[in-house]
Structure 1
Amino acid sequence: MFGKKSQPPIKSLIAQGTRIEGNMKFNEGLRVDGEVFGDIQSSADDAGSMLVISEQAVVQGAISADHVIINGTVRGPVHARELLELQPKARIEGDVSYVSLEMHQGATISGQLRPLVQGAAEGEEKPLLKLAAKSA
């Protein structure tokens, strides 16, 4: 509806109290409520992937997916091939690359922001930057 693609279902969960050590690959959707010490990335052939890092979650490593939603702590680079949503309690220590960015008041980034141009030649349309309104 309104030109938005439907989101992939969250099929995997790393629950609060769980600690994963090592790199991970996932299909479709992944929600992290626990701790991950390693890289997290969606499968290369998985178009439309979604990664959710919840408020309690801590990820120490690189993350990469199409749609990334962060409300926890990430220590490492973040690569969002489509949309990066930073919720109010998001804390990122690392460089961030994105096509479209939505950042709520309170989110922090300690690193460089690198907008990606998807499917456009140099000098054409720039990536969309959405400013989130302060919620009451």
Structure 2
Amino acid sequence: MWGSGNKSKGARSAKIETLVGRNTEITGDVKFKGGMHVDGTVRGNVLADGDNCVISVSQHGVIEGDVKVPHIVLDGTVTGDVYSRERLELEAHAKVNGDVYYNLVEMAVGASVNGKMVHKPAEKPLLLEKGGNQPNQSRPADRDRGAQSAGGAEQRGREGQGRFEPGTQSRDGKVSGSQ
């Protein structure tokens, strides 16, 4: 009923509470909660009132203004800036004439953006949300250099890196003797 039938995961999770039909034109800003579907034209900014809001714009939908919604599924046209805190899905017929600010983007072949695409990561890093704050873990680059980490304290310092002391092995495998 709403389009091609292949609904995205995010669009399925929100109940469509606001519908702009194909022969409908709205002039002025629109603020909504929950889910919104646009088949017609909105001449004004579209703003979500909540964190779990979703907007879907069909192939025939047009928005002339900024769109500020956490989850956006776009297959129509937006003339204005697009702000998506969570996920932005640009389908094959999507056209954005403005800048795009996103956390996560999925872009199909055929979609176009005439403006800047600016990555705005989530406010909280995912590692801190899932596993707690663990700042003392060694990084893979440290392990590659041979640094060992136990509870955040390196067992071997880096003060000698770059210099070759007598009796040590250089990076090319040669052993220098003591004097």
TM-score normalised according to structure 1 size: 0.81
Task: Give the structure 1 partner of residue 114 of structure 2.
Answer: 110
Structure 1 residue aligned with 2:123, among 119, 122, 129?
119
- The reply on whether 1:8 has 2:14 as its aligned counterpart is yes
Give the SS at the match of 1:105: coil
Higher RCO by CA contacts (8 Å cutoff, separation 6 or greater)? 1
Task: Give the structure 1 partner of residue 166 of structure 2.
Answer: none
Give the SS at the match of 1:97: strand
Residue 120 of structure 1: how far off its partner (Å): 4.3
Task: Give the structure 1 partner of residue 34 of structure 2.
Answer: 28
2:31 and 2:41 mapped to 1: Cα distance?
15
2:74 and 2:46 mapped to 1: Cα distance?
13
Which has the larger helix fraction? 2
Residue 119 of structure 1: how far off its partner (Å): 2.2
1:112 and 1:120 mapped to 2: Cα distance?
24
Pairing of 1:10-89 with structure 2 (within 5 A):
10-43=16-49, 46-89=50-93
Which has the larger strand fraction? 1
Runs of at least 5 residues in structure 1 that lack an aligned partner in the other structure:
122-136
Q: Which amino acid aligns with 1:73?
A: T
Give the SS at the match of 2:123: coil
Give the SS at the match of 2:121: coil
Deviating above 6 A after TM superposition, structure 1's stretches of 4 or more consecutive aligned residues are: none
Report sequence identity in percent.
33
Residue 11 of structure 1: how far off its partner (Å): 1.0
Q: Which amino acid aligns with 1:96?
A: V
Deviations 1:57-92 (A, max 9, x none): 111000011100000010000000100000000000
Deviations 1:73-130 (A, max 9, x none): 1000000010000000000000000100000000000000000111247xxxxxxxxx
Is the 8 Å Cα contact of residues 8 and 29 (structure 1) preserved in structure 2? yes
2:124 and 2:54 mapped to 1: Cα distance?
23
Runs of at least 5 residues in structure 2 that lack an aligned partner in the other structure:
1-8, 126-179
Task: Supply the RMSD in Å over aligned alpha carbons.
Answer: 1.4
Is the 8 Å Cα contact of residues 7 and 48 (structure 1) preserved in structure 2? no
Is the 8 Å Cα contact of residues 64 and 80 (structure 1) preserved in structure 2? yes
When Rg is computed on C-alpha atoms for both structures, the one with the higher figure is 2
